[in-house]
Amino acid sequence: MAEFKTLEIRQSVFQHNDREAALLRAELKEKKVFLLNLMSSPGSGKTTTLARTIGALKEQLRIGVMEADIDSDVDARTISALGVRAIQLHTGGMCHLDAGMTRQGLQGLGLDGLDLAILENVGNLVCPAEFDTGAVKNAAILSVPEGHDKPLKYPLMFQVCDVVLVNKIDVAPYFDFDLEKCREYVHLRNPRAKVIPICAKTGEGMDEWYTWLQGEVRAWQA
């Protein structure tokens, strides 16, 4: 049988990305631009949540958005129509963005005149959580129809997130969803994560999210 070598490259790849992410964060700090990495499953309501957030905050914060998808420009068109700077990022089949890809996106978006840059990451609960994008904070959206047990099934996503938005709480009576269990499971993975129940469609609970986000941006710029 032919002999061959097996190379374990995972650690070195992540170490390189972590260095790039730290460098990018330092540059963002110097420019006083806050980068939020927004992650979730497809269909959880990322774009709806983002659109309502922009509508509420665009008079207080100068916002730019990077929409990451494997293909299409549907989300970028939606966000651009709201009157903020937007760019579509195509990942070429990859299910995540790393720090280098994020840097390319920010260069295309342009940081001049921005307070807040938002990366709407590829819809996926696995791959995006594995790569530090250089964001200042990570946010995840978990929708009620997905079930309250997702923090147990996808632990890394909830370990890396600073805030978890539990979306579509208006339909909770029609699903076997336990908000307190969800909160418990999130805190099992990450005791420091803030959990905010919302309905992006109706606006319920969104004020708490706006307050958190504005506070984080202003603290970063101080």
* Cβ pair 168, 199 in contact under 8 A: yes
Please, what is the average pLDDT of the chain?
92
- How far apart CA 137 and CA 149 sit, in angstroms, is 23
Domains of the chain by residue range: 20-221
Among 54, 37, 78, which Cα is nearest to 210's? 54
Percent of the residues in the chain that have a pLDDT greater than 70, as a whole number: 92
- Phi first, then psi, for residue 180 (nearest 5°) are -70, -35
Q: Does domain 20-221 have CATH number 3.40.50.300?
A: yes
Render pLDDT for 49-76 as a digit per residue (tens, 0 to 9). 999 999 999 999 999 999 887 666 778 8
Place of tokens 């606006």: 203
For residue 191, give the 3-state DSSP assignment.
Answer: coil
More confident residue, 7 or 200: 200
Render pLDDT for 99-124 as a digit per residue (tens, 0 to 9). 999 999 999 999 999 999 999 999 89
- Phi first, then psi, for residue 144 (nearest 5°) are -55, -45
Q: What pLDDT sits at residue 11?
A: 56
Q: Are strands 63-69 and 116-120 parallel, antiparallel or unpaired?
A: parallel
